[in-house]
Structure 1
Amino acid sequence: MLKNYIKIGWRNLVKNKQQTIINLLGLTLGTVSCLTILLYVFAQLGFDEDFSNAESIYRVETIIERDGKESFDTAAASPPIAFALKEDFGEVEEVTRVVLTDVFYSNLIRAAENKESYYEPRSYMADSTFFKIFNFKFLHGDIETALNEPNAIVLSSNLANKMFGNQNCIGKAVIWGSGEDAQTLTVKGVFDEYFYKSHLNPNYIVSMSTPGMGTFVQTFDDFATNNFVYSYAKLVPNADADLLQKKLPAFINRRGSKNLSDAGMDNKQLLLKKVTDIHLYSEGRKNQIGRISNITYLYFLLTLAFFIQLVACINFINLSTARASKRAKEIGVRKVVGAGKKALMRQFLGESLLLSVFAMLISIPITIFLLPFVNELTQEALTYLNIFNWKITALLFGLGIFTGLVAGIYPAVILSSINPIKALKSATILQSGNGNFRKALVVFQFVVSISLVATVIVVTQQFRFTQNKDLGFNKENLLALRIGTNEASSKFESIKTAFLNIPGVLEVSSGNYSPSEIVLSDNGLYLPGGSREKNTIVKRNGVSDGYFKTMDIPILEGRDFREADTTNQIIVNEATLKAFNMKREDALSSKLVQSFGDETYEMEIIGVVADFHYASLKNEIAPLFLHKESEPNWLFLRTETKNYELLLGNLEKQWKTTVNNVPFDYRFVDKEVEKLYDEEKRLGKISFVFTILAILISCLGLFGLISYVAEQKKKEIGIRKVLGASINSVVQLLTKDFVKLVGIAFLIASPITYYFMERWLEDFTYRINIQWWVFAFAGGFALIITLITVGFQSLKSAVANPVKSLRTE
């Protein structure tokens, strides 16, 4: 019986070639889209799940409140909090701390036996308990003792191979840093960074007991300030994390009430974030240790995949029910000779499943072929092995079955319900209700298309807004060059002089933070006569004289830094004046105060600069003060050249002449600013590609549907033309119903899309306003595509010879 179903189904598919090709192409495009999106979504899932007892590991995050408002939130915490939790709560089995040293150290590292140094990102310091919580896969060394001693380092397999080649590097010496700050570390382990997907993703880890920053973290005992340490707690089996969370307010008050008071904090909340939730559920929490994703974007993509596949299914339903009359006599004969309704339904569902499974099989090699493009689009590193992951394979198989059932169930019900007597008498047996249902499905297709077009426009507009908005400084033709070491910092003036003599370099200055970098440094400041307990957190950046000229940031009041200035002379932005209710004209006669322990320092405001965006546009410009810095981390060069290859070559040559064994590490500031919006940019590209696919699938369905309608009305068109109807009137006859459907879809899609895009834009402090023309354009675009698709076939029917259509049976 099954063999018979398959044979009959195959014959029908081959017989109706146009319908089969349209359905197969639509289902294949839909399945390729779904498979691609599933591959990307699965790449974003499963972070940190492979660690032992991952469900029991939590990160301690921080929210600080001042004046009853949330003023600071971070994924990190103060240094002593982690081990205090272990001391105070029996449900905490183990804790560890991680410091992202990219912020504090140059990250210059080399094998002691070589002179070539590298800047390596994702460099951490961690407690000896780190691998007791995060059991990375070790390739060499003892995971139990790797970080127990001072000056120990554990390398990723990639970095170990880069520095030592294929030799076993356990016990080898590594030089970390340069000059007087250089430290000799001993390699105690090598781990496989590709074995687990983790938000940590370290390149190398230095033991926390190593002198320097590690000593500071281990001895610092203030529970309020210096919230830069990423703290993790592993709970005992079956511990209630929610119950522990409720105990944390009393804990922080008991341990750090005086620290909070001295720092001017009204309240400090400690939040437990399950480590498996960090990658996808950390939107809005600042100072993440690595790149995170957003679960909302994944939901959007999955929804997009669902609708694309649904549009393909709608094509199948519309074409199958529209062409039901073609199979009426076949169904009538089958019923007369004894075929039951269930048998017919199985037959038609079998045809649908056969087509769907065939589309599923075709989609696999197509997706593999498209993987390079997909990787470029999503910025992932997917391979064919991802497709044959058992979860993906199972989902793909399920998708094929589900698609076949969804696409085939309604046509199967309709076709199997045909009255055999009517079917044998006449080919025209479909009720008007079926036509209305097809119209509803077509409207749904248009709703999806119009919504997707409007979504792409809004996302693209917001991304362009972030690119083109006046950031308060000129990001174009601006180079940032990492100084990195004390040796290079000490030679800043000579480097500056040498660079200014190179053609194409207009200005040179320096600073501690490059634009787009997270400014972690801050101070609690207050006005003279005020209270340190009521201070205001102000971000801090150290710069050299000429910084504002290089950045093209206007000085509104006062002056730039001079050679004789100290850190007690500061320049503030407009947001700082607003925070202290200070008038611009009064700023130069004002001072701000900061306190450390028993010592108090007054800082003189010598200038006011316009607000500029030193962080993402998702965040409001925060108060900032700038001071003179003698040991900066970055060089900034304002350039003007048509030959950057020559300019960079000259800069590198001069750099290597002036500074020994320090890599020439540069970046274009405008490109770095763009990276702040990688997620939005990626979302826009993905939305655009799949919107085109959804519209293409819809057009395929419309083409097939109008082809059939034109065929059904062939005789009517012939009679009309014989009676004098023009080509224009015939085209209008065939297209007017579809134009009405586009209008109905426009009225439905516009408010729905507006609501969801407004919700998305709420994440941006600086954002566009959605204009009416976005929806008018989306509706007009859908109308034009419809007229082109439908009009082509309509015109073909309108110009056909009426004599042939009237004499053909």
Structure 2
Amino acid sequence: MLRHTILIAIRSIKKNKTSFLINIIGLSSGLASVILICLWINDELSVDAFHENKENIHQVITNLDWENKIITMENSPLLLADALTEEFPEVKSATSTSADFMEPSGVIQYEDRTKVGTGIFASENFFDTFSFNLLYGNKNEVLSRKDNIVISESLAKSLFANPQSAIGKTLVWDYKWSDGGRKRTLSVSGVFEDVKNNSTLTFDALLPAKSMVDDSRWAGDWSGGYAHTYLVLDENADVDELNDKIAKFLTTKLKDRDNFELFTQQFSSTYLNDTYENGVLVGGRIFYVRLFAFIALFILIIACINFMNLATAQASKRIKEIGIKKVVGGRKRGLIFQFLGESIFLTILATLFACILSFLVLPYFNNITGKSILFKPSFALILGIIGLAIVTGVLAGSYPAFYLSRFKPVSILKGRLNTVAGEVWVRKGLVVFQFSLAVIFIISVFIINRQIDFMMDKNLGYDKENVITFKLKTDYKNRDVLMNELEAMSAVTDVAFMSGSLLESGDGQGGYSWRGVDSDKKVMFKAPRIGYNYIETLGIGVLDGRTFSKEFNDDESKIIINESALRFMNLEPSSAIGTIIDHGSGQKEIIGVVKDFQYGSLHNAVEPLILRFRRGGTDMALRIKTAEVSAVLNEIETIYERLQPGYPFEFSFLDSEYQNLYESENRVASLSKIATLLVVLISCLGLFGLVMFTAQQRRKEIGIRKVLGASVTRIVMSLSKDFLKLVFISILISMPIAWFVMNNWLQDFAYRVALDWKIFLISSLIIVFIAFITISFQAIKAANTNPVKSLKTE
């Protein structure tokens, strides 16, 4: 039976080469897209999901409730892990790692070999909690002593001849973190397998968490948020009940922590669900996972629709075959099996082409998505592709199989078989569905790209062009010398530093009070820390007063506010300068007011902001003249490497960094363009096939019209009008759906473009034009056919 089905399928392919070609192109391109998207989704879902105990590992998250906002953060006190383990039976164990700003980074040296490495501080039970593979060393002892260090396999190979020989060796690590640094002599106690790309915990080395207290005295205090805390919960633990219990736990340790609320989130889900608004989880990367899952599904459905449409449209060519089979005893079930078998056979061929196509375009796909996905055979991958082929074959062939097998043999053989109205409407409905999706995709691409262009071109309140940024890797001892030498360069116009990043907008501070506001009111300000000349270097406009200046010997008691803070504090520009406001046990003087500028990305609105003075900072910014950029960079690199020995000069341009803020949006834009091209291509292939079939069915009618004097234009319009009606119906259906989808997407941006009706009109005209070209190509060919050929059989 199987051999018979394959033989019939091959004969059908030979007989209908054009239809086969249309189907194989549509199915293979659609399946290739589905395979690539599924590989990407699988890669996203695999992040932090490799830990054996992933179901029970939860991370402690903190909501900090201020009067004007709720801030959600991962940082917590180092003491929290042990305290929760002792006081809550649901917590089997807890592990701490250093917060991001406390991650050590610097030159690791063994004898005459050096390597720049980054690491984290971690609790003794780190390898019990997380499934990182410890190659050498005892997992219960490698982090037991303060002078221990556990290094990665690649780092061990760089410093030692053999990773195993690293155990017991002594090395020196001159490292720093956000606000400090140390030079320590450490003993290698273990070597672990290199951390894979699907882990959000990334490190070259591990240091004992207890030694973090020696590096910063606040790390061992309940008031310091120097750690990330992970809990291993009992399998029967009620997470919601535990969250209620620990919510105000910090208040039991420090009375002034009544505005802190703790809760837990499953660690393996944090990567995909990391976006909070006012303390409530609103999504994250999971949005794009779901989005592209839907896109893959739609592309697959559109490809299947083409198959169904062409198969049912060509049913008349096979009705005699079906009638004879039924007369000689063929059963409906056998015919269904035959047609489904043909569909699955064709789908398997398309899947083979799709796998080849996926393999060829995977490097380009990785470049767009920023991934390192490999198309390597595995049981799960092969099983998944086989399952995809079978499901697609059944889905694509189900309607034609049931449609063709239901014909009655008497009607077939007497020539009384008429096209059922329902079948025509189903075919038209499928065309409408295809082109509705195509219109939605085209509108979405226009709006996404328009929003990205808007973000790139928006006036941010500072000048990001020709600004180079880089980090100092060692302590501040050489910073002033570096700045002096950079300022002496003729191609450098300004040099400055800050602590933190202008684009990450992570620096904030509370505890301010001023005349007219309650002293106990808890208000959080954005509060970046900058040095002299930073405002001038970035070209931030000064509304009143002055900036930080060496001439006035400004220090930490002086602050500068932005316009939003001026309004929020209910101050007048003329009287704000010189105003004294309280902060903790001290006071701050406002010396200047700057114009509002974008601190962070356009996902966030401009907020009340206080610029704090900072004597130390490792985030350098310098403005250069545009001529001979390469020569300028080479000179800067020479100065940097002389004053920062052992560290490579890693720089970036501020405008490029700003563009990277919208990496997700740029990738969505690129992928949506490709998806749109595929949807339009597959839809047009299907439309082309239907027009071709319709022209064949009406060839005698066309011949008669031509004999009676009908022009080519009139015949083309006659063939085209029914299909164009379907396209116009698609446009009407897709408009409100596209508006709803894109309006929701734009809500994620504080500053966004308007949904201009022109975009909808242009998108509609594009799809009408594409559809008309597709229809006209085949219609003109049919209209120009010699009528003698179509009428001579009558």
TM-score (norm 1): 0.92
Counterpart position of 2:19: 19
2:445 aligned with 1:453, yes or no?
Answer: no
Counterpart position of 2:314: 323
Superposed counterparts of 1:125-144, under 5 Å: 125-144=121-140
SS in 2 for 1:147: coil
C-alpha change, 1:415 and 1:508, in structure 2 (3 Å) is: same
Q: Please report how far the alpha carbon of residue 163 of structure 1 lies from its aligned counterpart in structure 2 after TM superposition.
A: 4.2
C-alpha change, 1:622 and 1:389, in structure 2 (3 Å) is: farther
SS in 1 for 2:577: helix
Counterpart position of 2:260: 268
Counterpart position of 2:35: 35
Q: Please report how far the alpha carbon of residue 742 of structure 1 lies from its aligned counterpart in structure 2 after TM superposition.
A: 1.0
Residues in 2 aligned to 1:542 and 1:523: alpha-carbon distance in whole angstroms: 14
Residue type of the alignment partner of 1:700: L
2:396 aligned with 1:404, yes or no?
Answer: no
Residue type of the alignment partner of 1:182: K
**Contact 1:325–1:427 (CA<8 Å) still a contact in 2?**
no
Q: Please report how far the alpha carbon of residue 151 of structure 1 lies from its aligned counterpart in structure 2 after TM superposition.
A: 3.0
Q: Please report how far the alpha carbon of residue 14 of structure 1 lies from its aligned counterpart in structure 2 after TM superposition.
A: 2.0
Counterpart position of 2:82: 83
Q: Please report how far the alpha carbon of residue 709 of structure 1 lies from its aligned counterpart in structure 2 after TM superposition.
A: 0.7
Q: Please report how far the alpha carbon of residue 100 of structure 1 lies from its aligned counterpart in structure 2 after TM superposition.
A: 3.4
Q: Please report how far the alpha carbon of residue 115 of structure 1 lies from its aligned counterpart in structure 2 after TM superposition.
A: 6.5
Residues in 2 aligned to 1:697 and 1:578: alpha-carbon distance in whole angstroms: 55
Counterpart position of 2:564: 575
**Contact 1:147–1:207 (CA<8 Å) still a contact in 2?**
yes
Counterpart position of 1:560: 547
C-alpha change, 1:530 and 1:735, in structure 2 (3 Å) is: closer
* Higher deviation after alignment, 298-307 or 542-551: 542-551
Residue type of the alignment partner of 1:100: A
Residues in 2 aligned to 1:360 and 1:173: alpha-carbon distance in whole angstroms: 54
Q: Please report how far the alpha carbon of residue 559 of structure 1 lies from its aligned counterpart in structure 2 after TM superposition.
A: 0.6
Residue type of the alignment partner of 1:47: V
CA deviations 1:605-628 (Å, max 9, x no partner) are 101112222212212233332233
Residues in 2 aligned to 1:138 and 1:659: alpha-carbon distance in whole angstroms: 33
Residue type of the alignment partner of 2:144: N
C-alpha change, 1:217 and 1:360, in structure 2 (3 Å) is: farther
* Higher deviation after alignment, 346-355 or 74-83: 74-83
Q: Please report how far the alpha carbon of residue 401 of structure 1 lies from its aligned counterpart in structure 2 after TM superposition.
A: 1.1
Residues in 2 aligned to 1:719 and 1:515: alpha-carbon distance in whole angstroms: 74
Counterpart position of 2:467: 478
Counterpart position of 1:208: 209
Please point out which of 714, 726, 734 is paired with 1:749.
734
Counterpart position of 1:687: 672
Residues in 1 aligned to 2:563 and 2:115: alpha-carbon distance in whole angstroms: 41
Residues in 2 aligned to 1:184 and 1:532: alpha-carbon distance in whole angstroms: 48
Residues in 1 aligned to 2:521 and 2:625: alpha-carbon distance in whole angstroms: 47
Residues in 2 aligned to 1:511 and 1:250: alpha-carbon distance in whole angstroms: 35
Superposed counterparts of 1:395-434, under 5 Å: 395-426=384-415, 429-434=418-423
CA deviations 1:506-560 (Å, max 9, x no partner) are 2111111232234345342111586553232223333222211110111111011
Counterpart position of 1:60: 60
Q: Please report how far the alpha carbon of residue 154 of structure 1 lies from its aligned counterpart in structure 2 after TM superposition.
A: 2.0
* Higher deviation after alignment, 303-312 or 239-248: 239-248
CA deviations 1:386-441 (Å, max 9, x no partner) are xx333333222221111111111111111112232332333863223211111110
Q: Please report how far the alpha carbon of residue 746 of structure 1 lies from its aligned counterpart in structure 2 after TM superposition.
A: 0.7
**Contact 1:174–1:187 (CA<8 Å) still a contact in 2?**
no
**Contact 1:515–1:673 (CA<8 Å) still a contact in 2?**
no
Q: Please report how far the alpha carbon of residue 285 of structure 1 lies from its aligned counterpart in structure 2 after TM superposition.
A: 7.1
**Contact 1:513–1:634 (CA<8 Å) still a contact in 2?**
yes
SS in 1 for 2:189: strand
Q: Please report how far the alpha carbon of residue 174 of structure 1 lies from its aligned counterpart in structure 2 after TM superposition.
A: 3.0
Superposed counterparts of 1:198-597, under 5 Å: 198-210=199-211, 215-216=216-217, 218-222=219-223, 226-256=224-254, 258-260=255-257, 267-284=259-276, 294-385=285-376, 388-426=377-415, 429-486=418-475, 489-520=476-507, 522-527=509-514, 532-563=519-550, 564-595=553-584
CA deviations 1:178-225 (Å, max 9, x no partner) are 798322233222222346833212232221222556553552023xxx
Residue type of the alignment partner of 2:537: T
CA deviations 1:264-318 (Å, max 9, x no partner) are x6x322111011211112223799xxxx961111111011011101111111111
Counterpart position of 2:198: 197
* Higher deviation after alignment, 343-352 or 247-256: 247-256
Residue type of the alignment partner of 1:259: D
**Contact 1:618–1:764 (CA<8 Å) still a contact in 2?**
yes
**Contact 1:503–1:647 (CA<8 Å) still a contact in 2?**
no
**Contact 1:568–1:604 (CA<8 Å) still a contact in 2?**
yes
Q: Please report how far the alpha carbon of residue 352 of structure 1 lies from its aligned counterpart in structure 2 after TM superposition.
A: 0.7
* Higher deviation after alignment, 491-500 or 582-591: 491-500
Residue type of the alignment partner of 2:28: T
Counterpart position of 2:720: 735
Q: Please report how far the alpha carbon of residue 745 of structure 1 lies from its aligned counterpart in structure 2 after TM superposition.
A: 0.6
Residue type of the alignment partner of 1:780: L
Question: Number of residues paired by the alignment?
Answer: 784
Please point out which of 144, 147, 150 is paired with 2:146.
150
SS in 1 for 2:166: coil
Residue type of the alignment partner of 2:334: A
2:29 aligned with 1:10, yes or no?
Answer: no
**Contact 1:480–1:514 (CA<8 Å) still a contact in 2?**
no
**Contact 2:512–2:582 (CA<8 Å) still a contact in 1?**
yes
CA deviations 1:42-76 (Å, max 9, x no partner) are 00113333323221111110112233x54311122
Residues in 2 aligned to 1:412 and 1:23: alpha-carbon distance in whole angstroms: 16
* Higher deviation after alignment, 335-344 or 784-793: 335-344
CA deviations 1:452-505 (Å, max 9, x no partner) are 11112222222222222222111111101212322xx33434323322333432
Residues in 2 aligned to 1:125 and 1:344: alpha-carbon distance in whole angstroms: 67
CA deviations 1:783-809 (Å, max 9, x no partner) are 111011111111111122222222246
Residues in 2 aligned to 1:555 and 1:686: alpha-carbon distance in whole angstroms: 41
C-alpha change, 1:805 and 1:530, in structure 2 (3 Å) is: closer
**Contact 1:76–1:229 (CA<8 Å) still a contact in 2?**
yes
Q: Please report how far the alpha carbon of residue 247 of structure 1 lies from its aligned counterpart in structure 2 after TM superposition.
A: 1.1
**Contact 1:524–1:538 (CA<8 Å) still a contact in 2?**
no
Structure 2 segments unaligned to the other structure (5+ residues): none
C-alpha change, 1:353 and 1:588, in structure 2 (3 Å) is: same
Residue type of the alignment partner of 1:149: R
**Contact 2:34–2:296 (CA<8 Å) still a contact in 1?**
yes
TM-score (norm 2): 0.94
CA RMSD, 1 decimal? 2.4
Residue type of the alignment partner of 1:447: S
Counterpart position of 1:98: 97
C-alpha change, 1:520 and 1:125, in structure 2 (3 Å) is: farther
**Contact 1:96–1:232 (CA<8 Å) still a contact in 2?**
yes
**Contact 1:326–1:427 (CA<8 Å) still a contact in 2?**
no
Q: Please report how far the alpha carbon of residue 12 of structure 1 lies from its aligned counterpart in structure 2 after TM superposition.
A: 1.4
C-alpha change, 1:110 and 1:286, in structure 2 (3 Å) is: farther
Residue type of the alignment partner of 1:89: F
